[in-house]
């Protein structure tokens, strides 16, 4: 039987290695461009072998996910916890505020990810796909919150609007001279909505 403490150490080592690979890739993508960065260079900077890289990522562009898939799952969970009585848009903003708090310590990494994504049309496309998946998750979560299997028009529109709020807030948040917390920027964006 596996020692629970050993499993904890193993999991911690995996997370540490994954993070080192992400950080190395982001730094190299931002500095040298995506196309010029090789898996070998990423592995060398992270002090692992290329084979180790491929244990964590199928391709080098997959590095840019940075946990966004897990965050989409978090959105679904948070939407079910949103206070009763909130309409779809208010519930979505409530969730975005909580996501902003969780993401705050990652500002530098998110900024680096944005710089890295700007170096390649393929990465910009991947970023757009991630945002589309986020919007779909918000729409689905809003629908489930109201007992629906699929998003209706109201959930879809609220998801799209909330993603617009998030985009505005995130762009201002990652600006090098911005010291404003992401949650505050989400609230500022939401304050400009009618109603």
Instruction: Quote the CA–CA distance of 134 and 71 in Å, as a whole number.
Output: 8
List Cβ neighbours of 6 (8 Å cut-off, separation of 6 or more). none
Using an 8 Å Cβ cutoff, are 99 and 75 in contact? yes
Alpha carbon separation from 118 to 12, 25, 26, 144 (Å, rounded):
31, 14, 11, 35
- The set of long-range contacts for 166-169, using a CB threshold of 8 Å and a minimum separation of 24, is 166/96, 166/134, 167/131, 169/96, 169/100
Q: Quote the pLDDT of residue 1.
A: 47
Looking at residue 6, its pLDDT comes to 58
Structural domain boundaries in the chain = 4-63, 66-191
Residue 4: the pLDDT is 55
**Predicted local confidence at residue 68, as pLDDT:** 74
Tell me, which fold does domain 66-191 have in CATH? Tetracycline Repressor; domain 2 (1.10.357)
Q: Which residues of the chain have pLDDT under 50?
A: 1
State the Cα–Cα distance between residues 10 and 14, nearest whole angstrom: 6
Q: Which CATH class is domain 4-63?
A: mainly alpha
pLDDT in tens, 52-95: 999 999 998 888 776 777 788 889 999 999 999 999 999 999 99
Query: Could you give the CA distance from residue 74 to residue 91 in angstroms, rounded to a whole number?
Result: 14
Residue 79: partners with Cβ closer than 8 Å, 6 or more residues away: 91, 92, 95, 138, 141, 142, 144, 145
pLDDT at 125: 85
- Strand segments (E) across 45-88: none
In this prediction, residue 5 carries a pLDDT of: 58
């Amino acid at each position: 039987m596996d020692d629970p403490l050993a499993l904890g150490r193993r999991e911690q080592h995996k997370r540490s290695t994954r993070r080192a690979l992400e950080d190395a890739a982001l730094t190299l993508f931002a500095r040298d461009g995506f196309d010029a960065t090789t898996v070998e260079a990423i592995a060398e900077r992270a002090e692992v072998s290329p084979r180790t890289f491929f244990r964590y990522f199928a391709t080098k562009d997959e590095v840019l996910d940075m946990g966004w898939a897990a965050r989409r799952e978090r959105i679904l969970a948070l939407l079910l916890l949103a206070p009763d009585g909130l309409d779809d848009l208010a519930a979505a903003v409530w969730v975005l505020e909580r996501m902003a708090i969780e993401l705050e310590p990652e500002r530098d990494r998110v900024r680096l990810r944005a710089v890295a994504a700007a170096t390649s049309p393929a990465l910009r496309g991947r970023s757009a796909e991630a945002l589309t998946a986020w919007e779909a998750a918000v729409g689905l979560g809003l629908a489930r919150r109201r007992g629906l299997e699929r998003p209706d028009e109201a959930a879809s529109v609220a998801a799209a609007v909330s993603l617009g709020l998030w985009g505005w807030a995130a762009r201002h948040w990652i600006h090098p001279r911005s010291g404003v917390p992401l949650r505050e920027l989400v609230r500022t964006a939401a304050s400009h909505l009618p109603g």
